[in-house]
């Protein structure tokens, strides 16, 4: 049932405020500023290292989580693609917690990576959408994301719920390790609680994004740029676009632009820049100006202050509401998803069942 939407993907994008509220409610009890984990939980105070492993969109959720765990909880983090991790047979030093992220909980490479860690990691934790799945069952601790059934092949609501659960876990880690003051913890918790509402505002950019997508749909190649927490999101935006619109898209950390990809820039190559006005904003803007100086067409996704400061001369701009820095990637996932969705609709591709793709990849 598409609940009045044209595609499951549109329905699942629109459901995000509700499912996020549900995910947050499960981990953040309403009456206190603390994190509650199911079962025996997990104490991060003695954890030496985190290894995060996943595929595809779930891998980008892990890349985002690396910034959170390192910056907020000061835990060294390694992130790997499951198909690489499992055959590289990496050593896992004592004190390693291995964490697997998977919507389906059945992805063959992720499951094999988990089995490799059995007996080598201190704890095996998973962040899953399907609580009865193999990955959930074979973990010491399974953390459900409460996104509900996801039907569209391109993952949307599972991604933002994965991010929310991973951020909550990073906050728990920061608190366990004494790396965060109670005030900072409650600031982050309020930012998370405010997110479903902000996400509704982000969804209101739908018409604007549809118009932008109309223009994007004639491109052959698209480049996505972001820094810090926006870099994994740039990767996710590019993946979504190529999966469902079949437009070739790539993402780079903004600072990498001059190390090669700037050679691609001309008036035919739209560049999507995701950059809320945060501490790294000016650096991203200078990369964006390098693109514009070479006739590159920039689509800037930012908040009102960011658009006021740097929106001059850009090709298209998309406004997002102001948001606390740590939760920004969860919010900015919405325009990335809508951009891919509307571009695919404009091109007339099969949004829910893109060619050559399966919802659950249970073979290597
Ligand atoms: C992209 C997408 C895939 C999955 C990947 C992992 O939109 O859906 O990249 O994220 O196949 O799947 P799960 O999360 O089920 O392990």
- ipTM for the assembly: 0.99
Ligand 1 pocket test target in 107, 127, 135 with most atoms within 8 Å of CB: 107
The residue nearest atom 3 of ligand 1, judged by CA position, is: 56
Pocket test of ligand 1: the residue of 85, 152, 155 to mutate, having most ligand atoms within 8 Å of its CB, is: 155
294: nearest Cα among 312, 321, 269, 318:
269
Ligand 1 centroid to residue 5 C-alpha, Å: 22
Q: Are 109 and 86 in contact (CB under 8 A)?
A: yes
Yes or no: say if 256 and 283 are a contact pair by the CB < 8 Å rule: no
- Interval between CA 33 and ligand 1 midpoint (Å): 32
**Closest ligand 1 atom, residue 107 Cα:** 16
> Any bridge partners for residue 274, and if so which?
301
Q: Relative to the CA of 104, which ligand 1 atom is closest?
A: 15
Q: Using 50, 70 and 90 to split pLDDT, how confident is the model at 321?
A: very high
Burial of 110 from C-beta contacts in 10 A (0-12 / 13-18 / 19+)? buried
d(CA 249, CA 240): 9
pLDDT at 50: 98
**Considering only CA atoms, which residue is closest to atom 7 of ligand 1?**
154
Cα distance between residue 330 and residue 13, in whole Å: 12
**Rg of the Cα atoms in the chain:** 20
Task: Report which protein residue has its CA nearest ligand 1's atom 4.
Answer: 56
Could you read off the pLDDT of 212-232 as tens digits, one per residue?
999 999 999 999 999 999 999
Beta strands in the chain (DSSP E): 49-54, 77-81, 96-102, 123-128, 141-144, 221-226, 248-253, 270-274, 297-302, 316-319
pTM, 2 dp:
0.98
CA angle 67, 73, 77 (to 5 degrees): 50
Q: Are 245 and 344 in contact (CB under 8 A)?
A: yes
How high does pLDDT run on average in the chain?
97
Please tell me the distance from the alpha carbon of residue 36 to that of residue 19, in angstroms, as a whole number: 18
Mean pLDDT of 262-284: 96
54 CA: nearest ligand 1 atom: 16
Gap from CA of 301 to ligand 1 centroid (Å): 25
Residues whose beta carbon lies within 6 Å of some atom of ligand 1? 55-58, 102-104, 107, 110, 154-155, 239, 243, 360-361
| CA-closest candidate to residue 120, choices 194, 170, 51 | 51
Q: Which atom of ligand 1 is nearest to the CA of 159?
A: 10
Per-residue pLDDT tens digits for 132-175: 999 999 999 999 999 999 999 999 999 999 999 999 999 999 99
Which residue CA neighbors atom 10 of ligand 1 most closely?
A: 57
Gap from CA of 85 to ligand 1 centroid (Å): 16
CB-neighbour burial class of residue 279 (10 A; exposed 0-12, middle 13-18, buried 19+) = exposed
Catalytic residue among 242, 283, 347, 359: 359
Whether 120 sits among the annotated catalytic residues: the reply is no
| 56-85 pLDDT, tens digit each | 999 999 999 999 999 999 999 999 999 999
Atom of ligand 1 nearest to the CA of 361: 11
Q: Give residue 305 CA to ligand 1 midpoint distance, Å.
A: 34
Nearest to 166 by CA among 140, 184, 192, 190: 192
Residues 238/20/346/357 CA torsion (nearest 10 deg): 60
Whole-number Å distance, alpha carbon 155 to ligand 1 midpoint, is: 6
Q: How confident is the model at residue 364 (pLDDT cuts 50, 70, 90)?
A: confident
- What is the percent of the chain where pLDDT is above 70? 100
Q: Residues in the chain, how many? A: 364
How remote is the CA of residue 287 from the centroid of ligand 1, in Å? 30
User: pLDDT value at position 360?
Assistant: 86
Q: Whose CA is nearest to atom 5 of ligand 1?
A: 56
């Amino acid at each position: 049932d598409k609940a009045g939407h044209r595609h499951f993907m549109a329905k699942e994008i629109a459901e995000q405020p509700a499912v996020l509220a549900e995910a947050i409610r499960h981990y953040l009890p309403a009456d206190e500023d603390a994190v509650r984990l199911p079962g025996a939980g997990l104490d991060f105070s003695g954890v030496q290292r985190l290894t995060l492993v996943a595929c595809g969109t779930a891998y980008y959720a892990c890349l985002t989580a690396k910034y959170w765990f390192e910056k907020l909880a000061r835990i060294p983090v390694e992130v790997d693609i499951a198909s690489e991790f499992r055959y590289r047979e990496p050593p896992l030093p004592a004190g390693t917690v291995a964490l697997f992220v998977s919507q389906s909980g059945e992805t063959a490479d992720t499951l094999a990576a988990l089995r490799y860690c059995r007996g080598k990691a201190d704890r095996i934790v998973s962040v899953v959408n399907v609580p009865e799945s193999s990955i959930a069952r074979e973990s010491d601790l399974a953390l459900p994301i409460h996104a509900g059934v996801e039907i569209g092949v391109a993952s949307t609501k599972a991604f933002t719920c994965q991010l929310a659960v991973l951020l909550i876990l990073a906050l728990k880690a920061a608190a366990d390790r004494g790396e965060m003051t109670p005030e900072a913890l409650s600031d982050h918790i309020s930012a998370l609680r405010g997110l479903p509402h902000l996400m509704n505002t982000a969804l209101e950019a739908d018409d604007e994004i549809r118009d932008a997508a109309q223009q994007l749909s004639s491109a052959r190649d698209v480049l996505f740029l972001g820094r810090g927490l926006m870099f994994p999101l740039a990767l996710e935006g590019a993946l979504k676009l190529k999966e469902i619109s079949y437009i070739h898209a790539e993402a780079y950390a903004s600072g990498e632009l001059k190390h090669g990809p700037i050679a691609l820039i001309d008036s035919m190559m739209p560049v999507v820049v995701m950059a809320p006005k945060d501490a790294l904003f000016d650096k991203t803007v200078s990369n964006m100006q390098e693109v514009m100086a070479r006739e590159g067409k920039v689509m800037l996704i930012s908040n009102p202050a960011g658009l006021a400061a740097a929106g001059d001369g850009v090709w298209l701009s998309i406004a997002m509401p102001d948001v606390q820095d740590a939760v920004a990637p969860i919010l900015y996932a919405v325009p990335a998803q809508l951009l891919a969705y509307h571009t695919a609709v404009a091109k007339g591709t099969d949004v829910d069942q893109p060619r050559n793709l399966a919802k659950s990849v249970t073979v290597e």
